[in-house]
């Protein structure tokens, strides 16, 4: 296995279903040994920020709805499943699930991508409060907020697989 393929195998999934970010970071020369979470995160985020708006939107679209149909069907990535379970989103009451479903639908129709939040350390009530607040953001404000949350999720995922 080449150093490039090993890096992509290890870090290619930290941006949901978007290994191209890790590929471009490695190819740019911004990734070097020893791999450290902070340095790798900086390299990956630089690529993400340089990407076209359509490419960044595609990364947003790669994220699942919170407590949505993929979660119910058991089709989340392992990272997403663990993150949502850690926030209690796998143990919602029928009423809470209905509210998440309604908010997911309203948010998607307003912004064109799913609501994204780094759920680590948050509970379902925290997430719902943020959901209710952010749904009134402008389209540009929410695009920037969602991108920042994607970067935060990537950082948390890197911290779980690489030393600081």
Cα–Cα distance for residue pair 1/9, rounded to 1 Å: 10
**How far is Cα 123 from Cα 118, in angstroms, rounded to an integer?**
11
Q: What is the domain extent for residue 22?
A: 3-51
CATH classification of the domain holding 77: 1.10.3330.10
Count of other CB atoms within 10 angstroms of residue 96 = 16
In terms of domains, do 42 and 79 share one?
Answer: no
pLDDT for the residue numbered 73: 46
- pLDDT the model gives residue 76: 56
Does residue 160 sit within a domain? no
- The Cα–Cα gap between 105 and 114 comes to 9
Kindly state whether residue 161 falls inside one of the protein's structural domains: no
Asked whether residue 44 falls in the same domain as residue 116, the answer is no
What pLDDT sits at residue 68?
59
Number of folded domains in the chain? 2
Average pLDDT per consecutive 10 residues, the chain (164 residues; last block may be shorter): 95 96 97 95 98 98 73 60 75 87 94 94 91 96 98 96 92
Of 17, 41, 63, 97, the active-site residue reads: 63
Q: Quick one: pLDDT at residue 57?
A: 98
**Among the listed residues 71, 59, 65, the one whose alpha carbon sits nearest the alpha carbon of residue 143:** 59
Beta-carbon contacts of 147 under 8 Å, excluding residues fewer than 6 positions away, are 48, 56, 59, 60
Question: Can you give the three-state secondary structure of 48-115, one letter per residue?
Answer: HHHCCHHHHHHHHHCCCCCCCHHHHHCCCCHHHHHHHHHCCCCCCCHHHHHHHHHHHHHHHHHHCCCC
C-alpha distances out from residue 4 to 10, 20, 162, Å: 10, 12, 16
Q: Which helix (H) or strand (E) holds 136?
A: none
Residue 164 in any domain: the answer is: no
Q: Is 63 a catalytic residue?
A: yes
Tell whether 43 and 110 lie within a shared domain. no
């Amino acid at each position: 296995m080449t150093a490039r393929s090993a890096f992509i195998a290890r870090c290619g999934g930290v941006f949901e279903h978007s290994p191209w970010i890790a590929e471009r970071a490695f190819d740019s020369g911004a990734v070097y040994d020893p791999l450290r979470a902070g340095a790798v995160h900086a390299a990956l985020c630089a690529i993400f920020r340089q990407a076209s708006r359509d490419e960044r939107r595609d990364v947003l679209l790669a994220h699942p709805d919170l407590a949505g149909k993929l979660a119910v069907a058991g089709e989340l990535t392992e990272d997403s499943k663990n993150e949502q379970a850690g926030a209690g989103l796998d143990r919602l009451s029928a009423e809470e699930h209905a509210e998440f479903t309604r908010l997911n639908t309203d948010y998607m129709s307003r912004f064109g991508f799913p609501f994204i939040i780094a759920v680590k350390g948050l509970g379902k009530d925290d997430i719902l409060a943020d959901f209710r607040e952010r749904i009134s953001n402008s389209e540009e404000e929410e695009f920037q907020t969602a991108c920042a949350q994607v970067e935060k999720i990537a950082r948390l995922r890197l911290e779980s697989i690489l030393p600081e």
